[in-house]
Amino acid sequence: MIPVVVKISKMPSLRIDQSDLKCKNGCDYFGNPQWQGYCSKCHREQMQRQRKAEKASSATLPKPETKKPDRGLKITSHSSFSKFEEKRHRQSETLKKANLLKFSVFKKSSTDDHEHSSEKRPPEFKIPPQVNEGMKRDFRMRFPQLAQSRSKEPSLAVDRDCRAFVNSFIMDVIKCTNVMTVDELSERVQRQYQRFMKHMDTSAHFSHVDADTKELLMDFVEKHAMTYLHELPSIVFSPNGTEDERLDRAMSERIQQLSWVGERHLECRLDMNHAECRQLLYKAISELLGMDSALSPGDKLARVRRCCRHVLRLCSSSAPASADDLLPALIFTVLKANPPRLVSNINFVTRFCNAQRLMTGEGGYYFTNLCCAVSFIENLTAESLNMEKKEFDCYMAMPASIGGSAWAAALSLCGAAREADEQRALAHKLRAHTRTIHERADLLAANAKSFEEQIAKKVEDVLAKTPLEIKPRRELPRIGKFKEISTAPLIDLGTSHAHGEPEPPPETKPEPQPEPTVPQEPNITIQASENEPKLNILGFEVIERQSPSKSPQNLDQTWDLKQTSSLELLTPSPLGFTPFDSRSIDELMTPDDFGADQLPPGLSNINYDIDLSDFSGDNSIAEDAPKSDPKDPFSPEALKKTFDPFAPQTSRGYEALDSFDEFSFVDQRKQETDPFEVVHRGQDPFSPVDIAKDPFFSPPKQSTSILDDNDSPTSGCLLPSPMQPQSSGKPT
Amino acid sequence: MATAPSGTHNFKVVLLGEGCVGKTSLLLRYIEDKFNDKHLTTLQATFLNKRLNINGKRVNLSIWDTAGQEKFHALGPIYYRNSNGAILVYDITDEDSFGKVKNWVKELKKMLGSDIVLTIAGNKIDLEHERTVPLEEAESYANMVGAQHFYTSAKLNQGVEELFLDLTRTMIERYEQNSQTDVNRTSQVVVVDDEAAPPQTSCCSGNKTN
């Protein structure tokens, strides 16, 4: 049936004659060293003969001896030859196992005699702490009701008991694995499970745990113990001393050879052309394949359960699926899946899964079905497929790659379809993601816009308010310094035009008198108007009263000293105003030129200085002004919209201020444009103030003079009202 | 026999019989009657986990349907190993199916001995007029092998509930008898041992059948 098994790895030893590769029995098939040189067929027969012989011999012996042969001891004399053979076989396997363990698990020095060392091993062997940690975590996750709700003490005890049991369980299995056959080990494991069950029933710690939770705890314990043991080589999973691995290979080959078996052979109603059917079959197959990667028996069972559920849906298109439908479909699934290490997996579950669950429970039922399917495949004959023996043989002789290609194609189609589905899902997700991003971006834009509008509105509001607030504040400090500062009533240049300018100095002088009465600003304005009836007073011009006196006196002295340097440098740099430097030389030159005319050239520089000192006063105001700073963010807008056009005018305004300080009014008029523009631009801090002022005072500026522009913010209409409270407050 | 913690009995029952005698219908009827409001289970009629309370004893019944096709007959032992009860179904209009039942009985007796409770069910009594299996023959045979005999109709929902209830009661009795004899044999009167011993025996017997 399975004629040729030649391993590539055997190729180097090609000196062997081909006849040596043939079956020892002399049939024409090739033999295999793993089958003691027999071909598969002869080997099976041989094995059966051996088994029969063993049975016969064991029947004559008292039971306990057959049950528990001591592998390590010398064989007693009365056993039959076949039994002796078998024992030796097992013994050698035990040796092999011990050696394997020595190297792989225990890393023990190889000098010890394995027979004796087996007793010493357990203490050396340590269960890695991860097992414990993992259990703790998993326990909390799985039994939150145990970990939380009840009083702490018993639940902790449950947790501890479980872990203690798993530890002792693992130790026990590892200890026994050297001296026991797999069946004995399995029995021992089952007894351990029962022990734990009994412990749960009797221990006080578990008194509050209901029956269902106990079963879950049982599964939990089983899972963790077995997951760990599963990873150790050849202890519980396809252990040494069994033929699991060989059977795995045989099974895999067998299934491959049966790949031609189709749904019609098994009489199951499957429609390959139906997309849903293909999908379900594909899912069932992937679950079945996943069984190998699951570690604990419980997980493997869960895989089988899921697989069978898919298969059931596959069968139950019209009526609820019955066992009559399930089994053939499951067989078909197994044939198409050809799961890796199938026999090992099944044996592992049968041996080490909690027998109780395997016997009852849904998982157990489906697993039993799987066992049936495997058994059916193993013993599949022409009769079981209702076909002629000749046809069957013909199919079996056919190379495996030919048969079942239709289904293989359909299933690969399935795989591709599923992949496509996944891709589509991914694409869909991405699209949705982009959409949300777009929406958010739009929202953000809308927000920004509304915010902008809001801000603009606020700006307008504030703009409406600011003149009222800013101007008084700007003057307040000066009013505070009134003794030093003279508030010059604004001259409505509309009337006095260019001639108004020379007049302010006289105005400033009389002001000291009104100052004592200053606190009441209306009075001031009134007084100012009284003092200078000729002029229409629009507001105050703030001029430092001392500046006329100061600037010539103090600053002249100080700055005279510096004149040289400034002259030498040809820059007003001592002030630290880089904008000057950056300005064209012409601008720098002009003040000098002018200064040369009437004032010492240094003075022109001093003018700037003085301006600064003045404006430093202004600065402080400007710093107060930042209360209008909330408007600052708007300044850019304001700048765009309002500032630029008026910039020259404001600059003029500052020139005017400067000019006052210097008392060189005539010069100022001439100088107006050039130098002071520069100054003004250098002094950005004031610009917002100016801007704030500008819109209101653009008309007077347009009218003409610098002074007006400068003072316009303090125009009469706006000024008085805020001033009053303070002024009235002062005297009282 | 098996006990779960806290005295709940776990019983496994297999449904055996030739194909098309109505095993699945019986199971489906039992499922549907009990779970009329839950239609989840009707996707499949292959397996049923059922909890009963009989005379204050909690019973967890696992009912397994088996494939009845002739070609799967050889797989029977895999299905019925470790089971506590078997329901052998035949079709009263089909004499062959009754012959199958006889085969099953023989096989079960051989493999499981007296551990298993047998119940024979003559199904499809709604087709009484087509009956080919004589009533007396069936009942006398059942008596002979120590099995209960029921007439059922999955279609008309007759005798199904009674069948399962009676089987469960018998299984409890059998279980208690066995544990009694266990106690007598070991002459250990510790209550805990009482519970521990039966699972062990079941475990060993299970391995033997392997």
Whether residue B104 lies inside any domain: the answer is yes
Environment class of residue A2 by beta-carbon count within 10 Å: exposed (0-12), middle (13-18) or buried (19+)?
A: middle
With vertex at residue A525, the alpha carbon angle to CA A524 and CA A529, rounded to the nearest 5 degrees, is 115
Report the 3 state secondary structure along B128-166: HHHCCCCHHHHHHHHHHHCCEEEECECCCCECHHHHHHH
Closest CA of chain B from A70, distance in Å: 20
Q: Could you tell me how far CA B29 lies from the centroid of its own chain?
A: 16
d(CA B113, CA B120): 16
d(CA A470, CA A722): 9
Q: What is the pLDDT of residue A15?
A: 54
d(CA A491, CA A507): 10
Q: What is the pLDDT of residue A705?
A: 47
Mean per-residue pLDDT for A380-407?
A: 75
Whether residue B208 lies inside any domain: the answer is no
The torsion angles phi and psi of B187, rounded to 5 degrees, stand at 50, 35
Cβ distance B92 to B122 under 8 Å? yes
β-pairing verdict for B2-3 and B9-17: antiparallel
Distances (CA, A) of A123 to A171, A291, A701, B46: 9, 34, 102, 49
**Which chain B residues are within 8 Å of A327, Cβ to Cβ?**
67, 69, 72, 75
Structural domain boundaries of chain A? 126-231, 244-403, 461-729
Number of domains into which chain B is organized: 1
B46 vs A194, A322, A361: nearest CB: A322
B175-197: pLDDT as tens digits:
888 877 755 544 433 333 333 33
Torsional class of A663: left (φ above 0), alpha (ψ -120 to 50), beta (otherwise): left
Give the pair of three-digit tokens for residue A153. Answer: 């003490």
**Which chain B residues are within 8 Å of A368, Cβ to Cβ?**
64, 78-79
**Which chain A residues are within 8 Å of B8, Cβ to Cβ?**
211
A679-707: pLDDT as tens digits:
444 444 444 444 444 444 444 444 444 54
Cβ distance B198 to B179 under 8 Å? yes
What share of chain B has pLDDT > 90, as a percent? 4
β-pairing verdict for B148-151 and B117-123: parallel
Query: Taking CB atoms and an 8 Å limit, are B67 and A372 in contact across chains?
Result: yes
**Between residues B64 and A717, the one the model is more confident about:** B64
d(CA A576, CA A596): 23
Q: Which residues contact A139 (CB under 8 A, 6 or more apart)?
A: A146, A147, A159, A162, A220
Q: Which residues pair with B122 in a beta bridge?
A: B90, B151
Mean per-residue pLDDT for B125-129?
A: 85
Touching B: A residues 339-368, CB under 8 Å: 350, 355-356, 359-362, 364-366, 368
Judged by DSSP in three states, B89 sits in strand
For the stretch B26-60, what's the b/e string if a residue is b when 16 or more beta carbons lie within 10 angstroms of its beta carbon?
bbbbbbbeeeeeeeebbebbbbbebebeeeeeebb
The domain that holds B188 is classified in CATH as 3.40.50.300
B78-89: pLDDT as tens digits:
888 888 899 999
Highest mean pLDDT among A18-22, A251-255, A480-484: A251-255
The CATH class given to the A126-231 domain equals mainly alpha
CB atoms within 10 A of CB A244: 21
Query: Taking CB atoms and an 8 Å limit, are B47 and A186 in contact across chains?
Result: no
pLDDT at A716 over 90: no
d(CA A102, CA A288): 34
Q: Which residue has the tokens 């010492």?
A: A600
Q: What is the mean pLDDT of chain B?
A: 76
Q: Which residue has the tokens 């209306």?
A: A522
A377 vs B: CB within 8 A:
no
B44 vs A: CB within 8 A:
yes
Mean per-residue pLDDT for A215-227?
A: 83
Touching A: B residues 89-148, CB under 8 Å: none
Judged by DSSP in three states, A540 sits in strand
Cβ distance A705 to A501 under 8 Å? yes
Q: Could you tell me how far CA A650 lies from the centroid of its own chain?
A: 56
> Residue A169 corresponds to which amino acid?
F
B10 vs A200, A322, A360: nearest CB: A360
A187 vs B: CB within 8 A:
yes
Query: Taking CB atoms and an 8 Å limit, are A360 and B62 in contact across chains?
Result: yes
Poorest-confidence range of A105-114, A305-314, A526-535, A638-647? Answer: A105-114
Number of alpha carbons in the 13 Å side-chain half-sphere of residue B99 = 5
Distances (CA, A) of B95 to A634, B123, B132: 102, 12, 6
Q: Which of B81, B55, B5 is nearest to B168 (CA)?
A: B55
Query: Taking CB atoms and an 8 Å limit, are B67 and A327 in contact across chains?
Result: yes
Please state which architecture CATH assigns to domain A244-403.
Up-down Bundle (1.20)
Closest CA of chain B from A111, distance in Å: 38
Distances (CA, A) of A116 to A71, A104, A580, B164: 14, 18, 100, 57
Q: What is the pLDDT of residue A592?
A: 47
CB atoms within 10 A of CB B106: 11
Closest CA of chain A from B146, distance in Å: 25
A317 vs B: CB within 8 A:
no
Mean per-residue pLDDT for B89-110?
A: 89
Q: Which residues pair with A542 in a beta bridge?
A: A487
Q: Which of A198, A43, A179 is nearest to A116 (CA)?
A: A179
Q: Taken in order A366, A372, A376, A378, is the CA torsion positive or negative?
A: positive
Judged by DSSP in three states, A25 sits in coil
Highest mean pLDDT among A24-28, A157-161, A237-241, A429-433: A429-433
Q: Which residues pair with B151 in a beta bridge?
A: B122
Query: Taking CB atoms and an 8 Å limit, are A356 and B68 in contact across chains?
Result: no
Q: What is the pLDDT of residue A448?
A: 93
**Which chain B residues are within 8 Å of A386, Cβ to Cβ?**
71
**Between residues A334 and A620, the one the model is more confident about:** A334
**Which chain B residues are within 8 Å of A194, Cβ to Cβ?**
196, 199-200, 203
Q: What confidence tier does A476 reach under pLDDT thresholds 50, 70, 90?
A: low
Closest CA of chain A from B197, distance in Å: 10
Q: Which residues pair with A526 in a beta bridge?
A: none
pLDDT at A657 over 60: no
Q: What is the pLDDT of residue A34?
A: 66
Q: What confidence tier does A595 reach under pLDDT thresholds 50, 70, 90?
A: very low
Whether residue B78 lies inside any domain: the answer is yes
Q: Which residue of B has its CA nearest to A266?
A: B71
A372 vs B12, B28, B79: nearest CB: B79
**Between residues A147 and A385, the one the model is more confident about:** A385
Query: Taking CB atoms and an 8 Å limit, are B5 and A211 in contact across chains?
Result: yes
Query: Taking CB atoms and an 8 Å limit, are A194 and B82 in contact across chains?
Result: no
Cβ distance A471 to A725 under 8 Å? no
Q: What is the pLDDT of residue A440?
A: 95
A223-268: pLDDT as tens digits:
888 888 888 777 778 777 778 888 888 888 888 888 787 777 777 7
What share of chain A has pLDDT > 70, as a percent? 45
- Domain extent for B148: 2-201
Q: What is the pLDDT of residue B174?
A: 87
CB pairs under 8 A between A and B: 131
CB atoms within 10 A of CB A518: 24
Q: What confidence tier does A475 reach under pLDDT thresholds 50, 70, 90?
A: low
A396-453: pLDDT as tens digits:
787 666 555 666 777 777 778 778 888 999 999 999 999 999 999 999 999 999 999 9
d(CA A322, CA A314): 12
Highest mean pLDDT among A57-71, A216-230, A535-549: A216-230
Q: What is the mean pLDDT of chain A?
A: 64
B51 vs A: CB within 8 A:
no
Q: Which residue of A has its CA nearest to B195?
A: A198
Touching B: A residues 24-53, CB under 8 Å: none
Whether residue B207 lies inside any domain: the answer is no
**Which chain B residues are within 8 Å of A186, Cβ to Cβ?**
207
Q: Which residues pair with B120 in a beta bridge?
A: B88, B149
Q: What is the pLDDT of residue A324?
A: 81
Judged by DSSP in three states, A493 sits in helix
pLDDT at A60 over 90: no
ipTM: 0.81
pLDDT at B38 over 50: no
B171 vs A: CB within 8 A:
no
Q: What is the pLDDT of residue A445?
A: 94
Q: Could you tell me how far CA B85 lies from the centroid of its own chain?
A: 3
> Residue A402 corresponds to which amino acid?
I
What share of chain A has pLDDT > 90, as a percent? 5
Touching A: B residues 148-167, CB under 8 Å: none
**Between residues A610 and A341, the one the model is more confident about:** A341
Mean per-residue pLDDT for A366-393?
A: 86
**Which chain A residues are within 8 Å of B28, Cβ to Cβ?**
320
Query: Taking CB atoms and an 8 Å limit, are B195 and A201 in contact across chains?
Result: yes
d(CA A13, CA A9): 9
B2 vs A186, A359, A366: nearest CB: A359
The torsion angles phi and psi of B120, rounded to 5 degrees, stand at -105, 135
Distances (CA, A) of A64 to A183, A241, A290, B141: 15, 21, 40, 39
